[in-house]
Amino acid sequence: MEKPTESSSVRLTHTVKKGGCAAKLSVSDLRELLAPLAKSSVKFPDVIVDGSTFDDAAVLRWSKDQALVQTLDFFTPIVDSPFVFGQIASANALSDVYAMGGEPVSAMAILSFPLTSLPLSVGQEVMRGCLQILADAETPLVGGHTIDDDTLKFGLSVSGRVHENRILTNQKARPGQTLVLTKPLGTGTACAALKQGEVSEEGIAEEIRSMCTLNKFLDLLGEFESSISAATDVTGFGLLGHALNLARESAVTLQIHSANVPRFADSLKFLDRGILTKAHRTNWEATRDHVDLNGVEGPLQKLLVDPQTSGGLLLAVDSEKVDEVIFRLQKRFAKVSKIGLVVPRAHHYLQIQ
C-alpha cells in the first residue's frame, strides 16, 4: 500500500474511537486491574509516593533533600491538527510533575505511528508541537521509543525533581482550607463536539488554548507557595473523580460550590445537547455513591464528570492566603476560581452545593 503524503487533509479525530484522556480505562476497571499490586509485600524504603494512592506521579528519595518525580502519559488524538495534538499531549504529561510540586528536568517521547495510513509528516508535526511545549517548560527531550501501530498515540515519560519537604500529594488537604481550580471544565464535551463535526477547531479555540497551557504554577507564588498543602490535576476522571480521590486519601470531605466552578462558554450548551463520551457515564458510576448532589442535575452535573484532557489543578489552599494566591495565579490562569472548602469527614466524601 502506498503511504499517504499529505497531512493537512487528515482529520486525526476520525482515525480513533476515543481521544485524549477520555480514552483512559474507567476508575473501576483501573482499580480492578491494579488490585494484585496492593497485595505485593515488596517494599522499597526510598519510595515516598507510589501508585497505591492513585496520585499524579511517583516520588522517590534521591539525595538528602531532593526527590525524583516520575510519570508517563500518552493517548490518542483529541484534535485534528497534528501540531496541536503534540502540544496538548505534552502539556498533559508535564502536568503530573507540576501537580506534585515538582519541576520537570527531562522527557522521553512515546509514539505509536500507523505507517500505512498516515504520512510521516503527521508524526513530524506532532513532534514539532511537543518540542514547542517542552521549550516553554525548559525541559529537554532526551530520547524515546516508537512502534508501528494501527492507531496514532503520543505522549511523554517525564522525570522531575522536588525538595522532599515541598512534595504536594493528594493526602494532605486539611479542614478549613479553600479549594481552588486553575482551569475551566468542558474540554471533554468540546472535543467530542469536534469529533462529531458539530464544531471546528476554531470554534473551540479557548479550550485548545487551555489544554496547551502548562500547569506550572509555583513560580508565580513566591512566599505563598507554602500555603498550598495538597494538589491533583483534573484529567480523564473529571472533577468529581479526582476530587473524590483527594478527599479519600486526605480523609476529609470536599464541599464544591457548583455555581463557582469555571467552565468554557459553550460547555453547558454542548452537554445539554447530549454531546458526551463514554467517560461521562463511567466517571459518574465511579463517584455517585460518594457524592451528595443536593439537587444539582442536568448539564451542570455532567460538567462535574466531564473528562478533562490537560485540565487544571485542584489545590487545597490555606484560606487566609487564598486571595493572594488567586491574584498571583491569574497571571497565567485567567479563570482560576475558588470552588469550595475542605471540611471534616462527613457521610459523603463530596458535597455539591
Domains of the chain: 12-166 (3.30.1330.10), 178-352 (3.90.650.10)
| Whether 336 contacts 180, CB under 8 Å | yes
pLDDT at 2 over 60: no
| Whether 302 contacts 156, CB under 8 Å | no
**What gap in Å lies between CA 303 and CA 258, rounded to an integer?**
10
pLDDT digits (tens, 9 = 90+) for 327-340: 999 999 999 999 99
pLDDT digits (tens, 9 = 90+) for 190-246: 999 999 999 999 999 999 999 999 999 999 999 999 999 999 999 999 999 999 999
| Whether 99 contacts 168, CB under 8 Å | yes
pLDDT digits (tens, 9 = 90+) for 129-185: 999 999 999 999 999 999 999 999 999 999 999 999 999 999 999 999 999 999 999
C-alpha torsion sign, points 205, 210, 214, 219? positive
pLDDT at 6 over 70: no
Q: How confident is the model at residue 21 (pLDDT cuts 50, 70, 90)?
A: low
Mean pLDDT along residues 33-45 = 74
Q: How confident is the model at residue 44 (pLDDT cuts 50, 70, 90)?
A: confident
**What gap in Å lies between CA 343 and CA 340, rounded to an integer?**
10
Residue 66 neighbours by CB distance under 10 Å: 11
Q: How confident is the model at residue 41 (pLDDT cuts 50, 70, 90)?
A: low
Mean pLDDT along residues 104-126 = 96
Q: Give residue 36's pLDDT.
A: 75
**What gap in Å lies between CA 314 and CA 333, rounded to an integer?**
13
Beta-carbon contacts of 12 under 8 Å, excluding residues fewer than 6 positions away, are 77, 79, 80, 81, 82, 85, 122, 152
Q: How confident is the model at residue 1 (pLDDT cuts 50, 70, 90)?
A: very low
Given 21, 130, 191, 212, which residue is catalytic?
21
| Partners of 344 in beta bridges | 252
Q: By C-alpha distance, which of 155, 39, 32, 21 is closest to 86?
A: 155
For residue 161, the surrounding DSSP H or E stretch is strand 153-163
pLDDT digits (tens, 9 = 90+) for 48-59: 998 888 888 999
Rounded to two decimals, what is the model's pTM?
0.93
For residue 36, the surrounding DSSP H or E stretch is helix 27-38
Q: How confident is the model at residue 40 (pLDDT cuts 50, 70, 90)?
A: low
Average pLDDT, the chain: 93
Which residue did the predictor score with more confidence, 45 or 178?
Answer: 178
Q: Give residue 251's pLDDT.
A: 97
Q: How confident is the model at residue 4 (pLDDT cuts 50, 70, 90)?
A: very low
pLDDT digits (tens, 9 = 90+) for 80-93: 999 999 999 999 99
Q: Is 129 helix (H, G, I), strand (E, B) or coil?
A: helix
Directed axis angle between helix 278-287 and helix 187-195, to 10°? 150
Directed axis angle between helix 278-287 and helix 27-38, to 10°? 60
Active site residue 21: yes
Q: Is 295 left (phi over 0), alpha (psi -120 to 50) or beta?
A: left
**What gap in Å lies between CA 158 and CA 149, rounded to an integer?**
22
**What gap in Å lies between CA 110 and CA 351, rounded to an integer?**
39
pLDDT at 20 over 70: no
Q: Is 306 helix (H, G, I), strand (E, B) or coil?
A: coil
Burial status of residue 39 (CB atoms within 10 A of its CB: 0-12, 13-18, 19 or more): exposed
Q: Give residue 105's pLDDT.
A: 98
CA end-to-end distance (rounded Å), the chain = 57
Q: By C-alpha distance, which of 339, 66, 46 is closest to 183?
A: 339
Q: Give residue 203's pLDDT.
A: 96
The DSSP output letter for 45 is T
pLDDT digits (tens, 9 = 90+) for 295-322: 999 999 999 999 999 999 999 999 999 9
Q: Provide the grid cell at 246.
A: 483527594
Ranking 33-37, 140-144, 249-253 by mean pLDDT, the lowest is 33-37
Beta-carbon contacts of 59 under 8 Å, excluding residues fewer than 6 positions away, are 47, 48, 49, 67, 68, 69, 70, 100, 102, 162, 167, 169
Which residue did the predictor score with more confidence, 38 or 267?
Answer: 267
Q: Give residue 38's pLDDT.
A: 67
